[in-house]
Amino acid sequence: MLADILSGFQMNANLDCILMIAFGTLLGIIIGALPGLTATTGVSIFLPLTFYMDPVPALGFLGGIYCGGMYGGSITAILINTPGTPAGAATVLDGHPLAQKGEAYKALQMALYASVIGGLISCIALMFFAPILASAALKFSYAEYFALGVFGLSIVAGLSNGNIFKGLLACCIGLLIGCVGMDPISGFPRLTFGYTPFLGGFQLIPVLIGLFAMSELIKQCADKIKRGDQKDEIFQVSGKPLSKADWKRSIMTILKGSVIGTFIGAVPATGGGTAAFLSYGEARRASKHPEEFGHGSIEGVAASESANNGATGGTFIPMLCLGIPGDSVTAVMMGALIIQGLTPGPNLFVEHASTVNGIYVALLISNIFMLAMGQVGLRWFYKVCLIPKEILQPIIFGLCCVGSYASNSSLFDVGCMFAFGILGYLLLRCGIPMSPILLGLILGSITESNLRRGMLASGGSFLQFINRPICLVILAFTVFSLAFTIIRMLKDKAKGKEINEEE
């Protein structure tokens, strides 16, 4: 174990790598602090910069954006009552009332320290648990991989916001997009409609940038035009710093939140937002002053921020060990791994063990950078919200164009990016979520090839998937979770509850 960690440090022990992690963390904080730009969007936009890097600095850079983005969301949540990222939504509940009381500095400090502690604890959990899960997963055959693929797709669809049927439909869209090009078993062209550029299938990068960055850009621009020059009220970073009493009150909440975050993050398709609300609820239940929650409780900020950053390491566990992303950011990062020639899954721990160790340590370093940068920039980061949208959005547009072109020096990819951006925006408006589309695209070929290999081996019978105990358990769990989600959704509908389908 110690040798693994040392080898991870060795992988990161060069100036390029350290600088990339630091740059990624800084970018992440800035992106997170900009309302509307999520860590997923940030990672998608800056993914093309990593094509020419080695895997560890590339993943360290993207990991830095992820961790920084999770923390950055709290800055605007506290100062302008708008979470920079969905994961920061729980921080608004107590962070903003604290700012209204003139204690914004204290809230920002707590958000920073809780985020760092949460991030560090989740990295340590990742280091311990990922190799154990990976060694168990090494015993899996094609049947279990097929079952895992189906499980991953169904759980992502089920946990996507709102309507589960739309989430599952999004999965189907992703799977169909993934079918375009060469058949994974026979190599015959499929669904190309006679158009030669379709032979290679859709490349991951333009699809990813289109779905997550361009569609978000269109949404942001449409909102900006609708709102005009209406400005948010920004509270000053004022007040006293954290006292010993605040620490004493919050330390257990932070530790508990970090564990909740790590655990929830490790459940595929959940992520920081869910973890933050669960931790917030638990903190309120366990607190000696539950009446203060919602009116400016420092424990509330500690609970949500430790959990949402605690989820960062947790989400890497299923992604690295099983090839099933923990949330939408790790889904994008899974794409980054594939581009680097690394296939996420248990074999990664055998074939590229040093790279995996390097990724753990890079995440650890990024949390330390976050502490240093947060400490220095605590009073300044909110200023990024003051950048006019008409300056920021053209820059994002330019990054999307050049980024999608740079992957293959192909204008077809730029066209794909625009097409998927517009499709993504329209689907979002129809309440169809984006993450399952990406998951369908990534998991489609793994699921299909394992299904067909299994069926070919048994002469076309599906029975052998059911005859294997682990496979049967995973498939049964898939059916159970789907049935549970559908029943819950239909019950909510029957009660007349409105479903929020916006991602």
Partner 1 sequence: MNKFFKLRVQATKAHVDIGVGIVFSLFSIWMLTMGIRSQCSISFGSVGVVTDRLFPYIIMTVSLILSVIILILGIFDNQRDKKAKAEGKEVPMTECSIYVVMLLVLGIFFNMTMKTIGYPLCNAIAMYGVYYMLGGRKIWQGLAVSIGFTLLSYLFFAKYLGVSLALGFGL
Determine if 165 is a binding residue for partner 1 (CB under 8 A).
yes
Q: Which of residues 356-375 bind partner 1 (CB under 8 A)?
A: none
Query: Who contacts 494 (Cβ-Cβ below 8 Å, separation ≥6)?
Result: none
Determine if 501 is a binding residue for partner 1 (CB under 8 A).
yes
Name which of 138 and 426 has its Cβ closer to partner 1: 426
Residue type, 361: V
Q: How far is CA 450 from CA 142, 220, 335, 384, in A?
A: 5, 40, 20, 47
Determine if 492 is a binding residue for partner 1 (CB under 8 A).
no
The CB-of-94 to partner 1 minimum distance in angstroms stands at 29
Determine if 255 is a binding residue for partner 1 (CB under 8 A).
no
- Taking the C-alpha atoms of residue 317 and residue 16, their distance in angstroms, rounded to an integer, is 26
CB 310 within 8 A of CB 262: yes
The CB-of-169 to partner 1 minimum distance in angstroms stands at 5
The CB-of-232 to partner 1 minimum distance in angstroms stands at 17
Determine if 4 is a binding residue for partner 1 (CB under 8 A).
no
- Count of alpha carbons within 13 angstroms of residue 306, beta-carbon side: 29
Give the containing element (helix H, strand E) for 182.
strand 181-182
The two three-digit tokens of residue 74, written as one number = 């709290």
The CB-of-20 to partner 1 minimum distance in angstroms stands at 14
Determine if 176 is a binding residue for partner 1 (CB under 8 A).
yes
- Count of alpha carbons within 13 angstroms of residue 316, beta-carbon side: 32
Q: Which of 9, 129, 247, 397 binds partner 1 (CB under 8 A)?
A: 397
**Stretches 114-122, 169-177, 289-297, 356-364: which one binds partner 1 (CB under 8 A)?**
169-177
Mind giving me the DSSP string for 285-300? HH-S-GGGTTS--HHH
Determine if 228 is a binding residue for partner 1 (CB under 8 A).
yes
Name which of 163 and 354 has its Cβ closer to partner 1: 163
Q: How far is CA 463 from CA 36, 108, 150, 446, 472, in A?
A: 47, 56, 16, 19, 10
Name which of 376 and 430 has its Cβ closer to partner 1: 430
User: How many residues contact partner 1, by CB under 8 A?
Assistant: 72
Length of the chain: 503
Q: Which of 3, 15, 186, 285 binds partner 1 (CB under 8 A)?
A: 186
Helices (runs of H) and strands (runs of E) counted in the chain = 21, 2
The two three-digit tokens of residue 305, written as one number = 């921020």
Residue type, 178: G
Determine if 405 is a binding residue for partner 1 (CB under 8 A).
yes
The CB-of-474 to partner 1 minimum distance in angstroms stands at 18
**Backbone φ and ψ of 190, nearest 5°:** -145, 135
- Which residues sit opposite 189 in a β-bridge? 182
The two three-digit tokens of residue 481, written as one number = 């979770």
Name which of 190 and 468 has its Cβ closer to partner 1: 190
Q: Which of 93, 121, 155, 214 binds partner 1 (CB under 8 A)?
A: 214
Q: Which of residues 448-487 bind partner 1 (CB under 8 A)?
A: 448, 451-452, 455-456, 459-460
Q: Which of 183, 247, 292, 477 binds partner 1 (CB under 8 A)?
A: 183
Q: How far is CA 221 from CA 83, 263, 288, 326, 414, in A?
A: 18, 36, 45, 29, 20
**Stretches 9-17, 21-29, 212-220, 234-242: which one binds partner 1 (CB under 8 A)?**
212-220
CB 318 within 8 A of CB 325: yes
- Which 8-state DSSP code applies to residue 212? I
Q: Which of 6, 13, 138, 191 binds partner 1 (CB under 8 A)?
A: 191
Q: Which of residues 40-79 bind partner 1 (CB under 8 A)?
A: 51-52
Q: Which of residues 415-454 bind partner 1 (CB under 8 A)?
A: 415, 418-419, 421-422, 425-426, 429-432, 444, 448, 451-452
Determine if 399 is a binding residue for partner 1 (CB under 8 A).
yes
CB 255 within 8 A of CB 121: yes
Q: Which of 4, 101, 224, 464 binds partner 1 (CB under 8 A)?
A: 224
x/- contact string, 104-143, with partner 1 (CB under 8 A)? ----------------------------------------
**Stretches 7-15, 32-40, 99-107, 391-399: which one binds partner 1 (CB under 8 A)?**
391-399
